[in-house]
Amino acid sequence: MINKLRKKFILYALLSVFALLVVTLTTINLVNFGMIGSDADRVTQMIAENPNEFQQGDMGQQGENNGGGPGGPGRFGPDSPETASSTRYFTVSFDTSGNATVKVMKISAIDQDTAITWATELYNQNAQTGWYKVSYRYRIHEDVNNAALTNVTVIDYARELTPTFNVLWGSIIGGVTGTLLSFIILIFVSKGLVKPLEEADKKQKRFIADASFNLKTPLTVIAADNETNMLDQGETEASKSIEKQVKIMDNIVTHLNDLAVLEELREPEKRETFDFSAMAKTEVQNYQEIFRRANKELEVEVADDLTLAGDVTMMKRMLDEILDNAVKFTKNKAKLVIQGNEGRVTVEERNEFDGEAGPLDMVFERFYRLYNAKEENIPGNGIGLSVVREIVKIHGGRVNARCEAGQFVIKAEL
């Protein structure tokens, strides 16, 4: 239990760290890409509104005239005085008939034919602006000098995008590294965190074992002495009360013993592949006599040649608990079906049950007993089916209980 708790702590803590890193780094990169896209849109807007400024190859004279370009000295990004001269772009114009003409070709990465092909593809799209082929930003706009023309301007923004992609790759590497480091740290930290719980768990188990052992002998002595007194002096109200309280205490001790057994169930150190069919038939044969003594019937269907990898002793205990539950609660008849299903072994037990249809998985909880068990004084302590669930879980299977058509059904898949 402690190891499972430690694993869950590591898993949940690691998922929390991973989620925090993902949210933080994703936000940073989304904002980063959003800002770079906004800057690119400002550049394409500036080209659309001031085409003559961007077509000049040398901005030196303009810088003298307007104080250093669009934004003046000391600015950066789209407001930099170097933006007009450093921007690589092309503009293709389309008339009302859809004929394309290269208007500006201030780029070396592609030729005019490619520029027309790209612009035509973008012209036929509905979006006014966006990214194209990863690093190119485009804008579709009206020509400021001729309203009959529609321009498609495409800028090469690869240089400006490089730092953004560097941040993206750095975030991925940093996120993976941070997650791995967190995992390593959590492995060491979790040992110290679960140590007090481990000590408390050991003390609890020791107390249960010691209590059940130390109470058993005094109860046996008290019961024997009370029986002797009843034989010598006859049955009295006091002797009846003592006998009743001894039975109550003995039932509590039985609870403690079963609980100690349940706590000791662990993953088997060595699994072996065994003939599940043969083992099941042997166990069922032993219970046939128990059913006969109780004037009840057990119908059995066990498929041949079913094999399973696991702990044979645990599997026997699982079947014993299921059949023991059946012989206690069925009124007349129970049915056990064991068969193979797509490489798995299915164990299903049905017995008569007076209850509402629906799931009854609460029967697998420790010390839980159905109302009819209490009303009809059926012996038991509500541990047997808890043991079944733990054994099935240890072997990587699943088990459920339900009521249908007046029957109580337990189904385990291994």
Q: Are 392 and 399 in contact (CB under 8 A)?
A: yes
The answer for residues whose C-beta is within 8 angstroms of residue 7's C-beta and 6 or more apart is none
Angle among Cα 242, 236, 238 to the nearest 5 degrees reads: 35
Which residues on neighbouring strands pair with residue 345, listed in sequence order? 340
Which residues on neighbouring strands pair with residue 80, listed in sequence order? none
- Residue-range domains of the chain with CATH: 88-156 (no CATH), 272-413 (3.30.565.10)
Distances 357 to 322, 360, 389, 404, 408 between C-alpha atoms, Å: 20, 9, 21, 5, 9
Residue in the structure block whose two tokens are 């079913």: 306
Residue 250 CA to residue 244 CA, distance in Å, equals 10
Both tokens assigned to 126: 């509905």
- E strand or H helix at 353: none
Q: Are 306 and 277 in contact (CB under 8 A)?
A: yes
Q: Are 156 and 135 in contact (CB under 8 A)?
A: yes
Tens place of pLDDT per residue across the chain (414 aa): 667 777 888 888 899 999 999 999 999 999 999 999 999 999 999 999 888 878 764 444 444 444 444 555 556 677 777 888 889 999 999 998 889 999 999 999 999 999 999 999 999 988 899 999 999 999 999 998 898 999 999 999 999 999 999 999 999 999 999 999 988 998 888 777 777 777 777 777 777 767 776 777 787 788 888 788 888 787 888 887 887 787 777 767 766 666 666 666 566 656 788 888 888 888 888 888 888 888 888 888 888 888 888 888 888 888 888 888 888 878 888 888 888 877 788 888 888 877 667 777 787 777 776 655 555 556 556 677 788 888 888 888 888 888 887 888 888 888
Q: Are 243 and 223 in contact (CB under 8 A)?
A: yes
Both tokens assigned to 359: 């799931």
Q: How far, in whole angstroms, is CA 170 from its chain's centroid?
A: 28
Q: What is the pLDDT of residue 260?
A: 66
Largest CA distance in the chain: 129
Q: What is the pLDDT of residue 84?
A: 83
**252 closest CA partner among 227, 215, 221, 217:** 215
The answer for residues whose C-beta is within 8 angstroms of residue 341's C-beta and 6 or more apart is 413
Q: Are 136 and 155 in contact (CB under 8 A)?
A: yes
Q: What is the pLDDT of residue 64?
A: 43
**122 closest CA partner among 147, 143, 146, 91:** 91
